[in-house]
Structure 1
Amino acid sequence: MIKSKSLKRFLVVLAIAGLTLSAVGCSSNKPESKSPETKVESSNFKPVEFVYSDGAKDYNVKVNTPRQKAVTLSQFMTEMLLALDLGDRMVGTALLDNPILPEFEEAYKKIPELKIGEGHSISKEAFMATGADFVSGWDMSISEQTTGAPDELIKNDITPFLAKSYSPDATVETVYEDFDLLGKIFGVEDKAKEVVDKMKNDIKNVTDKAGKIKEEDRPKVMVYDSGEDKAMAVGGGLANNLIELAGGKNVFGKENKPYINATWESVVAENPEVIVVTDYLAGSPVQEKIDFLKKHPALKNVDAIKNNKIYVVGLADLSPGVRNSKVIEKMHGYFYGENK
């Protein structure tokens, strides 16, 4: 039986349920945090100013020195910093959705893993013990109970950061903006440009092909996350943009939320030709979700079900970050028969 999983970790308005200690929580045997060996000289650092919003209030943040001790409370932010070669400046991490990218495994193993309690919470004492001067993750990662309220963090020269690409109207261009800002905050602007340039080049290789496909020939796509009574599916936002860049048409792409709860009647009416199922550690096994869709009586005449065009991507692939260029290529292959 599949239980509906709210993806508040990816949505601004929904709350994640069912995080288990076995998936993301228990402290690992990773080595204790060490002082970073590589530092950016403060004399060469240009102060950075930006606005951090917790949804209720905006906070003006000023970074006067390059950040040296980062705590990341989402996989996408962990991998964004690792892509910037900042592993030696990461003093705590938590909340994997999928296995870490192979190219980051070695660096990731050296980062202490923070214990996650019920409801996506970490111990404030454990957070403060890291000596962090930067913290980022999902929108509910930063709070008075877990890390200290934003104003408390700012007062103590701890930089709170929420990726702009987490917003409901984000596109891959917003991801580039996040990398650019992170490069400035950590004093690694050249590396940030290198990462973004590679992403742009990889995506262009796909969009050059997808751009030649007529609108009417693009497959109708639904991304299914979970749910039995209704289907939690991708609406607008970053994931929708990734589908479009891959050459597909998201059947719920006109919705103004990143994820929606769609009725099965609406799914049948939209008749997707391809269904992409998200896989993540805290959710039901992905094969269980696929079997549920195939056996659902209302879906028997949906093209994707009839033609067995059901594919899998990781939740981390659709979250903001370095994986986005990879999943665009993967989905293009799914949509046009290049990948099986």
Structure 2
Amino acid sequence: MFVSRLAVLAASVGLSTLAAASPTQYPLTLENCGQPLSFAAAPKSAVTIGQAASEILYSLGLGDRLVGTSLWFSNVLPEFEAQNAKVERLADNDPSFESVINKRPGLVAVQFEWMVGKQGVVGTREQFHDLQIPTYIMPSDCDGKDNLVGADGTRLQPFQIDSLYSSVRQLAAIFDVQAEGEQLVGNLQARLDKAVAGAEQRQAKEISAAFWFSSADLDLDPYMAGQKGVADYMMKSLGLRNVVESSEEWPTVGWETLAKANPTVLVLARMDRRRFPADDIEKKLEFLRNDPVAQHMDAVKNGRIVILEADGMQASLRMVTGIETLAKAVDGFDIQR
């Protein structure tokens, strides 16, 4: 409770936060996903691989440092449209290694380790570091997680919201904008505290849920949120039970298995990308209405479907908005114990 009150205070007195933060002392050295990173000064430029990293840097007032972005699930937040329009989009999905290094960035900020890691689809950290280009992977995707097991990695320990706050604070320290970082974290903490306030009442109703992100094909098993991951944290923080038992971040689960579990609420990802047919929210809804198995689930029959932005199901600034939206929607459903 004491920490929560501090968060509310920090969010409400942003000017005090700005005044209290100390500047970065360079050289700065920090540990990031198992590797040390050192900075002699704030990077003059950056490339992002992942929407979450892009929007964090925009929120920290660092849009003028971005020289390239990539891996977007949805359109940029409205407040950053003008700034984002000035930054080159290297790719909607995975950028090539060459397109990133050709920008000669002082930092590559990465949302997912599978993009830049031991088996990185863009490249390995060693490849970038050999060219004197440091890579920063958001801790939310590597803390307590094995990204070499499962398509999107497997959680060895439950996701903790502090790892998202660490991403904000560390990026703020790297670029010497700690005051803005603390103000942003304080705002997120205050909003989260308010959103999860009714968790005990929801838990008492024994509400279960399942998150459907996408499907490689609508005829194939869907990618659902597993235990211990970001979406699972969202459910548990609101007092909801995840019906999926796998510890993979986004395992495939058959509709027969989901129908048997019969979640009280179904949560669907909306996105603008079109890597898979099921990325289209309208195709998801049409499938649920017509599939001979899915259409008989209680959540479908009773219209207990919640639509969230795709990046609101992941460790990002939109995650708190996702929790707020889900809490409001669930509380509006007529759910009897």
Shorter-chain TM range is 0.7 to 0.9
Alignment deviations for residues 98-127 of structure 1 (CA, whole Å, 9 cap, x no partner): 1111111121111122146xx824251x32
Paired residue for 1:216?
A: 204
Paired residue for 1:277?
A: 268
Tell me how far apart the structure 1 counterparts of residues 123 and 268 of structure 2 sit (CA, whole Å): 36
Does residue 1:98 correspond to 2:93, yes or no? no
Amino acid at match of 2:212: Y
Aligned with 1:86 (options 62, 66, 76): 62
Shift of 1:261: 1.1
Alignment deviations for residues 281-335 of structure 1 (CA, whole Å, 9 cap, x no partner): 1243211111101212123432101101122112111121211111110011111
Paired residue for 2:256?
A: 265
Structure 1: 5+ residue runs without aligned partners? 1-41, 53-57
Paired residue for 2:109?
A: 136
Distance change >3 Å, CA 272–CA 107, structure 1 → 2: same
Amino acid at match of 1:224: W
Structure 2: 5+ residue runs without aligned partners? 1-22, 143-154
Q: Is the 8 A contact 1:72 1:135 kept in 2?
A: yes
Distance change >3 Å, CA 217–CA 115, structure 1 → 2: closer
Matches within 5 A, 1:11-160: 44-52=25-33, 58-115=34-91, 120-124=94-98, 126-137=99-110, 138-142=112-116, 149-160=124-135
- What is the DSSP-based 3-state SS (H/G/I as helix, E as strand, rest coil) of the residue aligned with 2:293? helix
Tell me how far apart the structure 2 counterparts of residues 128 and 231 of structure 1 sit (CA, whole Å): 35
Does residue 1:195 correspond to 2:184, yes or no? yes
Tell me how far apart the structure 2 counterparts of residues 203 and 274 of structure 1 sit (CA, whole Å): 21
- Overall identity of the aligned pairs, in %: 20
Matches within 5 A, 1:221-232: 221-227=209-215, 228-232=219-223
User: Which TM-score applies when normalising by structure 1?
Assistant: 0.77
Does residue 1:288 correspond to 2:283, yes or no? yes
Distance change >3 Å, CA 290–CA 214, structure 1 → 2: closer
Paired residue for 2:139?
A: 164
Shift of 1:338: 7.4
Tell me how far apart the structure 2 counterparts of residues 60 and 191 of structure 1 sit (CA, whole Å): 24
Aligned with 2:298 (options 281, 294, 303): 303
Distance change >3 Å, CA 191–CA 86, structure 1 → 2: same
Tell me how far apart the structure 2 counterparts of residues 64 and 147 of structure 1 sit (CA, whole Å): 26
Q: Is the 8 A contact 2:202 2:240 kept in 1?
A: no
- What is the DSSP-based 3-state SS (H/G/I as helix, E as strand, rest coil) of the residue aligned with 2:198? helix
Does residue 1:331 correspond to 2:326, yes or no? yes
Amino acid at match of 1:109: A
- What is the DSSP-based 3-state SS (H/G/I as helix, E as strand, rest coil) of the residue aligned with 1:127? helix
Shift of 1:87: 0.3
- What is the DSSP-based 3-state SS (H/G/I as helix, E as strand, rest coil) of the residue aligned with 1:182? helix
CA-atom RMSD in angstroms: 2.6
Q: Is the 8 A contact 2:71 2:95 kept in 1?
A: no
Shift of 1:192: 1.0
- What is the DSSP-based 3-state SS (H/G/I as helix, E as strand, rest coil) of the residue aligned with 1:114? strand
Tell me how far apart the structure 1 counterparts of residues 255 and 51 of structure 2 sit (CA, whole Å): 31
Tell me how far apart the structure 2 counterparts of residues 45 and 197 of structure 1 sit (CA, whole Å): 25
